[in-house]
Amino acid sequence: MKRSHWSIPYAVFLGVFVVLPLLLILVYALQDGSGHFTFANIARFFSDSDALGTFAVSLEIAIENTLICILLGYPAAWILANRELNRSAVTIVLFILPMWINALMRTLATAELFSMFGIQLGKGTLLFGMVYDYLPFMIYPIYNVLNKMDKSYAEAAQDLGATPWKVFWKVTVPLSMPGVASGVLMVFMPTVSTFAISEFLTNNKIKLFGTIIQENINSSMWNYGAALALIMLVIIGISTMFTGGRGEAEEALI
Amino acid sequence: MAGEEHIIDLKHVSKSFGGKVVLDDINLYIRKGEFVTLLGPSGCGKTTTLRLIAGFLAPDEGEILLDGRDISGIPPYKRPFNTVFQRYALFPHLDVFENIAFGLKLQKVPADEIEQRVRKVLKMVSMTDYEERDVDSLSGGQQQRVAIARALVNQPKILLLDEPLAALDLKLRKDMQIELKEMHRELGITFIYVTHDQEEALTLSDTIVVMDEGRIQQIGTPAEVYNEPVNAFVADFIGESNILNGTMIRDRRVSFIGHEFDCVDEGFGENKPVDVVVRPEDIYFTQKEEKTQFTATVKSCTFKGVHYEMYVDSDTGYELMIQNYDAYPVDSVVRLYIDPDDIQVMHKERTCNTFEGVMKDETHVEMLGGTFECLPQPDLRAGDKVAVEVDFDKVDLLDHQEEGELAGEVHFLLYKGDHYHLTILTEDGDHLWVDTDDIWDKGDQVGVNFAPQDLKISKRHEA
């Protein structure tokens, strides 16, 4: 048996569980209820002010969530990667520990806490839940890049007259951008399509794009649901291009 | 060239990392405009010394003076030095121009002046027209040049170079050595250069500082360090050499390899054991019987380009290395002599192992982190502090660490013509020295034992 034959099971898996579903989404999105080819589903989205509004809210929430994750996650990653401030691996595990628990359960627990303390559910609680869920996905790739960064760059900058503050802004931050890019990919993309968090943490007061896809599918509007999913995939695809060298961003995860 | 004025003084500088002493009481001054090389094997403390001067590390003890003023409290970004790093550390997110301009921009130098100075320094390192290039697209040699340019453009008082040529291939390294030497002459600033390559140190330096195990072994010009090594370590590390046990019979007369020779050294006393160094190019062949000091049989002869390298066995059974422009056939018997000037006599640092120990009972002594059996010591009681002497050839080395009372590794070895002289570093960080006919390699793990009758124990009196 040739070595290349070993990849057959994986190719089959990819075909059945990745390529086929994507093709099905494409096919459903471009059909009407009776199986005729049409662009109507896609056109409907652009004239559906409800869907457009939800889409705008989803983008806004996703962008806000990503920004908050960067603002909180970058300093955390920097502290974790700094051997003078953090001498133990335990703290790193503590940051990653929440990822071991199912996100749905954490969200439910968070919702319970809010109701226990009598906190009104709304945008604030939604963002809190999202940041709580996705922060580790921002910290980890940034930490990885900072941790592997050759310390001699910072030394060279100091040697050339840079104060610690300038070293950080002129060397550390630019060199850690691949980690930030990969963190953005891992936080932004899933938050656009999430629906469970908004369901539990706002009682569906705030609908996200994922919510309306789910609603359409649940009410057997397969074709429109598929069209919305297709549009979301395209948007996500475009947003990954903005994060620049994908190769670098992926490297940050290793 | 170098004036008399000191630019850098290191006074009683010590540094440890996690309990391990890396620098032990370093005293060193560097003159303005001098090309100084810190030379030594890896782990000798040379890079630590450079990093202390640069300010990346602070000394545990002692002080570092710049122009007579203590700079211990000054952070690296305020020190008027620039460093060329071993792996260059060029910023990958900046192009060549931006890399070199990095320091000038921080100093808020006007843009047109930056432009001018960067161009000038690029010309100096023969990298004109590379301004826009990505640093990752440059070859190792080109990156090296950019790293030098990036340091020099800031017009530092001292240029620090940390093994800057180690990553380059031989030919390029030789070319860069010449260029560095020329830059040093042109700029007139002080260069402090770290390397483990003795040839590089000999080629480049005004002064060589030979270091080993955190201590300075010798400071001198290349010629001094080569011709008059102060100890066996320096002689072995710099150039090829025959290092032999000898006895100073009286002033200007020394015996080694079973023969007596005239030499030029005085003041060692009479019948004192010494180390003798003879460089392989300083053993001469002769046809005349009256000039002959000893005869030898050629054992091997290898062509090395400019010269032949021969190993000979002397009539008294010592192996010597000789380099000569003429080849002598293997198995031929040759007549040899050595000029008195070419015999370098050195004090022996020690003639036997001396350990501090404590008596456990009448027949056991505790030392070096182990307990050893000794002959009954009726005059000593348990708890008495003692000095234990063991001759170099009375130390038993065992193939497996667990077979010995002590475990250690071969740290350094010298061939002394008819036996090996090893330095063993024990697991507790103690040194012991061993003469042996067996062949060991550096880094070999060994067990160490002593026979009870070989421990010479005497009571230690507190000073």
**Could you give the 3-state DSSP secondary structure of residue B33?**
coil
As a residue count, chain A comes to 254
B241, part of any domain: no
B240, part of any domain: no
Same domain, B61 and B166: yes
What is the C-alpha separation between B30 and A47, in angstroms, rounded? 80
Same domain, B320 and B215: no
B239, part of any domain: no
**Unique residue bearing structure tokens 């620090």:** B160
Same domain, B309 and B448: no
Q: Which of B232, B265, B292 is the last residue of a domain?
A: B232
Which amino acid is present at A231?
I
**Unique residue bearing structure tokens 């001469």:** B284
Same domain, B388 and B428: yes
| CATH at B328 | 2.40.50.140
Structural domain range at position A76: 53-251
What is the C-alpha separation between A88 and A80, in angstroms, rounded? 9
Interface of B with A in 67-96 (CB under 8 A): 75-78, 81-83, 85-87, 89-93
Same domain, B23 and B124: yes
Supply the DSSP symbol for B30: E
Structure tokens at B198: 């003795």
How many distinct structural domains can be found in chain B? 3
Q: Which is nearest to B421 in space by CA: B151, B236, B148, B217?
A: B236
Q: A78 vs chain B: nearest CA distance in angstroms?
A: 19
Same domain, B361 and B342: no
Q: Which helix (H) or strand (E) holds A125?
A: helix A123-148
Nearest Cβ partner for B103 among A160, A163, A171: A160
Going residue by residue through chain A (254 aa), what tens digit of pLDDT does each one get?
A: 678 888 899 999 999 999 999 999 999 888 887 878 888 888 888 888 888 888 888 889 999 999 999 999 999 999 888 877 777 778 878 877 877 888 888 888 888 899 899 888 888 899 998 998 899 889 989 999 999 999 899 999 999 999 999 999 999 999 999 999 999 888 988 888 788 888 888 887 888 888 888 888 888 888 888 998 898 888 878 877 776 554 555 556 55
What is the C-alpha separation between B422 and B334, in angstroms, rounded? 31
Q: Cβ of A84 under 8 Å from any chain B Cβ? A: no
Q: Which residue of A has its CA nearest to B159?
A: A159
Structure tokens at B28: 């060193």
B292, part of any domain: yes
Interface test with A, best of B50, B56, B98, B107 (most A CBs within 10 A): B56
The answer to whether B358 touches B367, Cβ cutoff 8 Å, is yes
What is the C-alpha separation between B27 and B23, in angstroms, rounded? 10
pLDDT tens readout for residues B15-55:
999 888 899 999 999 999 999 999 999 889 999 999 999 99
B75, part of any domain: yes
Same domain, B48 and B104: yes
Q: Please, which residues have CB within 8 angstroms of residue A187's CB and are 6 or more apart in sequence?
A: A65, A66, A69, A134, A137, A138
Structural domain range at position B67: 6-232
Structure tokens at B6: 């000191």
How many distinct structural domains can be found in chain A? 1
Q: Which of B283, B314, B347 is the last residue of a domain?
A: B347
Exposed, middle or buried by CB within 10 Å (0-12, 13-18, 19+), for B7?
buried
| CATH at A115 | 1.10.3720.10
B363, part of any domain: yes
pLDDT tens readout for residues B220-255:
999 999 999 999 899 999 988 999 999 999 999 999
Interface of A with B in 145-184 (CB under 8 A): 150, 152-153, 155-163, 166, 170-171, 174-175, 177
Q: 0.90 cut: is pTM over it? A: no
Going residue by residue through chain B (463 aa), what tens digit of pLDDT does each one get?
A: 445 789 999 999 999 998 888 999 999 999 999 999 999 998 899 999 999 999 999 999 999 999 999 998 899 999 999 999 988 999 999 999 999 999 999 999 999 999 999 999 999 898 988 989 999 999 988 999 999 999 999 999 999 999 999 888 888 899 999 999 999 999 999 999 999 999 999 999 999 999 998 999 999 999 999 999 999 899 999 988 999 999 999 999 999 999 999 999 998 989 999 999 999 999 999 999 999 999 999 999 999 999 999 999 999 999 999 999 999 999 999 999 999 999 999 988 888 899 999 999 889 999 988 889 999 988 888 888 999 999 999 999 998 888 888 899 998 888 898 899 999 998 888 889 999 998 899 889 999 999 999 999 988 876 5
Q: Which of B192, B207, B232 is the last residue of a domain?
A: B232
